[in-house]
Structure 1
């Protein structure tokens, strides 16, 4: 039964998704651990069901995506479409768990040096939507392409960190074709990973690591992913239509190895960032589900049976641009701290999100596990970390004035007008307007809000023209690494170009640290460094507000922002 969740229950749901598995490392090299093998459960033999009437649903999960290329996508909405079109060695389930996907079995052997060797045997009944078999080489091609610096993927670091010699590919020590992955034959894939981390299964189901057809990609490098004629998929759906700035239509893939479990035949996806239009379409019954609507409607919508708040492991924040050639005044840590301290997070939460979020004073949200099973990273570290910040707003404002004066701008005298960049959305506009007023009243700093469409904004916030930009991050998996890896100096997701070698060393070291207590301590130290540098300004920890018609059931929503519709039904 669907019901509206309180924030307390939201946290419980998120914690229930977290992994508690951590490998151990001894003082001296250990003998290799016995390999662990996961095999797919055999399918039950059942009679073929009688043909049913085609089913369809229409949803809105975002505006037009910048790409449907698994290697190049960096947005949650793109991830949703890609997860319906493609499948990795593992696949996500609607309850947030993972099961074997394109692989029929996977064996992971931990090595004495902390690395691990993986052997994946692919299923015999997996095909691309054009009827060609999915092969081990399709995975190798995708993974090498992802890790190749020439590809320019913002998520390249995911593969570079994951594979045993990925960093050597990243820094040019070896060529991309020397990545530690190989196709032994068409159905056998072997690869070495830097460590068998708690979220290995999550990564092997993640869009960036899904297979790709080399012939398809290289025949049309720029447009292949958004054109139905060349978008060849191996997942539950195929791309039937991409009407730009209008809709994406996904239809059931008859070549998918378990097509009979895909209950929804057609998924129509409205592409829009007009919150008013989205809500109107939902109220008229044209949409079965929407996850965006005017922020000033939230309080009223929360009282309706169509509203559900799902737990989400994510952070809404501002990124302060540090790139060479950017605004010099923002390179002063006292200025960055003053900007953070002058924001009343409780007020923003109450006025924009109807008090349905958690004010954020640090990087990692609640619901991410710490070293011991059942522990929570945020609770272990405390609500506030570094940045001279507290939960006492009056004290924060006084400190902000002091720091801005120390930077040479008492009461904002001589401070240049700031540009605050957002993408089109009523919620982002409301946040920006509230913060603009706070900076003006508390610091004497004037702000101009620059609003852009989603694809333009995604690129603009990486440039030296950008000054302060709204940002959001929903964890790719339930481990602190998904937040800390964002801001390593070489990461493609580090849009603000933050660079601190001490931070980098801790985060990179934690990736292969097998002692869970030591690993988490490294992350806690990294968070303290990060918040004292204040390259970002945390605002609130996310939740996922969803409207769904009461007769629309069977869809899944995870704490990482993924929405899955293949099990959905629309009752008459």
Structure 2
């Protein structure tokens, strides 16, 4: 990635006051596990908690900085806070608080509402949008935000040099894909230029956008971080180090107070934000915690107020934790799956890929490992998005799996070459890998190596196609099937399988030009059939069940919704 990976204030992890150490230790040693977690007096559970006491207390600091008003367990350390190049949910939670686009998603239903644009007009054919920017929208450093800033930010996100994995979110704009992919303009015989993108500033507060066709979810896209407006004046002045130079100008509800590696990202309320009066917490800390045990103990000891992800809670405790009033479960647009590198033998053979899919008992995986109400699935796109009805993929049929593997030249797994399964260093992902390893050994007679990597290395390996099979997941960016399906189009930065199918690409493009919802759904269904049945570069396993942990008696402003979207500016501790 060409832009800054880390920002401000590098410093070693510090310690809490010694008294805090004693309080936490005593709490654990005197039956904390039983009282706080609601567990039986299980020595293994108690040992688990005692073993992480020192880890818990390491997160604090001896500096004189004030405590945060809100502390959130956020998962892995961000790789960047540049809206154009971020790609993970942990990064997006922070960036959405720092940088806004024309719209933002509200927290109750995750639908688009006005942000930098206070209103917009749409042409009768749904192709041209005219956005009217707020006259009181300014950067946190005082400079006005203009329509030209939007134009520049979107061009930057589409510039191949930027390397935005989500550049395709802008491809619904006329000329955007042509420029971003380096196509040649037939009229001039030269590559498309940034000026060929159909986005223009009519005046400092009016923006005109022309799409390639009607796009029902375009306003939702305008809330996505890739389309956020970034400070041109600051980036042109500081280049790749713009996130390293204080004070970083922001236009969101918060400003970046500091980013201390392996400790926290701290945000402060943006007093110059157009909606500053409704920002409910002054200081917010995001803790980069990967260990589910550490995350749970931070939460239980009061060092953290919210745990966003179920993966940040030990899944073996979910049978008990899931019954507590601070465990909030909800329907969620997210799919857990694994992908093949279709460029590597023997996974170049679709019969092999189908055999691996047919050998997996998804219900067993869910019952044994996840334990939070996840729904096993053979299709990739969750149900419930408009009129779309996804097709069925390959179910559980180990006998057919063995037949296909034999047809591919590997009867009983004989002569099947060594291969590995790539996953992030995460306990649940490791458990899934171990279970798949045993399933494929038992049902197909093949031997698989497990390969765990730190998140940053893992994503790099996926992008470079340096894997055989890989653990994967996808969370919908907006409530439409396209957010699940367009990522496997040729050239999409999130494809990461080596798979390319021009029929699939054309089906997606044609579907998104349709104004009839049923005709559009039929085309998308054909595309998904190619993806999860005919060509099978991926194998869906289950749909996520959304899980958040917070005490409703202490925290307000968090609402369950399909996208697990929780604007930070709406959340606060109750007084």
1:569 is aligned to: 572
Asked if the contact 1:98–1:202 (Cα under 8 Å) also holds between the matched residues in 2, the reply is yes
Give the distance between the partners of 2:93 and 2:457, measured in 1 at CA: 20
1:404 is aligned to: 405
2:322 is aligned to: 302
Give the distance between the partners of 1:485 and 1:306, measured in 2 at CA: 36
2:136 is aligned to: 125
| Aligned partner of residue 329 in structure 1, secondary structure | coil
| Aligned partner of residue 97 in structure 2, secondary structure | helix
| Aligned partner of residue 315 in structure 1, secondary structure | strand
Q: Which of 219, 232, 253 is residue 201 of structure 1 equivalent to?
A: 219
1:218-367 aligned within 5 A: 218-225=236-243, 227=244, 229=246, 231-290=248-307, 291=309, 292-323=312-343, 327-354=344-371, 356-367=373-384
CA distances 1:342-400 after superposition (whole Å, capped 9, x unpaired): 11100110111115100010111122222xxxxx524xx4xx23xxx23xx3xx10011
1:431-446 aligned within 5 A: 431-446=432-447
How far is the alpha carbon of 1:177 from its aligned partner? 2.8
How far is the alpha carbon of 1:55 from its aligned partner? 6.8
CA distances 1:80-114 after superposition (whole Å, capped 9, x unpaired): 11111111111211112322111122111144xxx
CA distances 1:471-496 after superposition (whole Å, capped 9, x unpaired): 11111111111111010012111111
| Aligned partner of residue 349 in structure 1, secondary structure | helix
Give the distance between the partners of 2:322 and 2:267, measured in 1 at CA: 30
1:474 is aligned to: 475
User: Are 1:90 and 2:103 matched, yes or no?
Assistant: yes
Q: Which of 521, 533, 536 is residue 535 of structure 2 equivalent to?
A: 533
| Aligned partner of residue 209 in structure 2, secondary structure | strand
* Aligned-pair Cα RMSD in Å: 1.8
How far is the alpha carbon of 1:230 from its aligned partner? 5.2
Give the distance between the partners of 1:445 and 1:284, measured in 2 at CA: 45
Give the distance between the partners of 1:357 and 1:319, measured in 2 at CA: 19
Give the distance between the partners of 2:455 and 2:81, measured in 1 at CA: 15
User: Are 1:167 and 2:167 matched, yes or no?
Assistant: no
After superposition, the Cα gap between the structure-2 partners of 1:271 and 1:557, relative to the gap in structure 1 and judged at 3 Å, is farther
User: Are 1:559 and 2:568 matched, yes or no?
Assistant: no
After superposition, the Cα gap between the structure-2 partners of 1:230 and 1:179, relative to the gap in structure 1 and judged at 3 Å, is farther
1:181 is aligned to: 199
2:423 is aligned to: 422
The TM-score, its normalising length taken from structure 2, stands at 0.83
Q: Which of 53, 73, 76 is residue 86 of structure 2 equivalent to?
A: 73
Give the distance between the partners of 2:414 and 2:459, measured in 1 at CA: 32
Give the distance between the partners of 1:208 and 1:220, measured in 2 at CA: 20
How far is the alpha carbon of 1:448 from its aligned partner? 1.3
| Aligned partner of residue 74 in structure 2, secondary structure | strand
After superposition, the Cα gap between the structure-2 partners of 1:337 and 1:231, relative to the gap in structure 1 and judged at 3 Å, is farther
Asked if the contact 2:372–2:545 (Cα under 8 Å) also holds between the matched residues in 1, the reply is no
2:52 is aligned to: none
| Aligned partner of residue 367 in structure 1, secondary structure | coil
After superposition, the Cα gap between the structure-2 partners of 1:556 and 1:237, relative to the gap in structure 1 and judged at 3 Å, is farther
1:522 is aligned to: 523
User: Are 1:105 and 2:119 matched, yes or no?
Assistant: yes
Asked if the contact 2:214–2:514 (Cα under 8 Å) also holds between the matched residues in 1, the reply is no
| Aligned partner of residue 240 in structure 2, secondary structure | coil
Give the distance between the partners of 1:543 and 1:564, measured in 2 at CA: 20
1:14-163 aligned within 5 A: 56-95=69-108, 96-111=110-125, 116-160=127-171, 162-163=172-173
Asked if the contact 1:237–1:253 (Cα under 8 Å) also holds between the matched residues in 2, the reply is yes
Give the distance between the partners of 1:530 and 1:55, measured in 2 at CA: 46
1:377 is aligned to: 389
Asked if the contact 1:165–1:179 (Cα under 8 Å) also holds between the matched residues in 2, the reply is yes
How far is the alpha carbon of 1:206 from its aligned partner? 1.3
Give the distance between the partners of 1:417 and 1:336, measured in 2 at CA: 15
| Aligned partner of residue 473 in structure 1, secondary structure | strand
After superposition, the Cα gap between the structure-2 partners of 1:559 and 1:175, relative to the gap in structure 1 and judged at 3 Å, is same
| Higher RCO (CA < 8 A, seq sep 6+) | 1
After superposition, the Cα gap between the structure-2 partners of 1:70 and 1:171, relative to the gap in structure 1 and judged at 3 Å, is same
The TM-score, its normalising length taken from structure 1, stands at 0.84
Gaps of 5+ in 2: 1-65, 185-191
Gaps of 5+ in 1: 1-52, 371-375
2:550 is aligned to: 548
CA distances 1:270-289 after superposition (whole Å, capped 9, x unpaired): 10111111111111111101
| Aligned partner of residue 540 in structure 1, secondary structure | strand
After superposition, the Cα gap between the structure-2 partners of 1:274 and 1:222, relative to the gap in structure 1 and judged at 3 Å, is farther
After superposition, the Cα gap between the structure-2 partners of 1:341 and 1:214, relative to the gap in structure 1 and judged at 3 Å, is same
After superposition, the Cα gap between the structure-2 partners of 1:149 and 1:294, relative to the gap in structure 1 and judged at 3 Å, is same
| Aligned partner of residue 331 in structure 1, secondary structure | coil
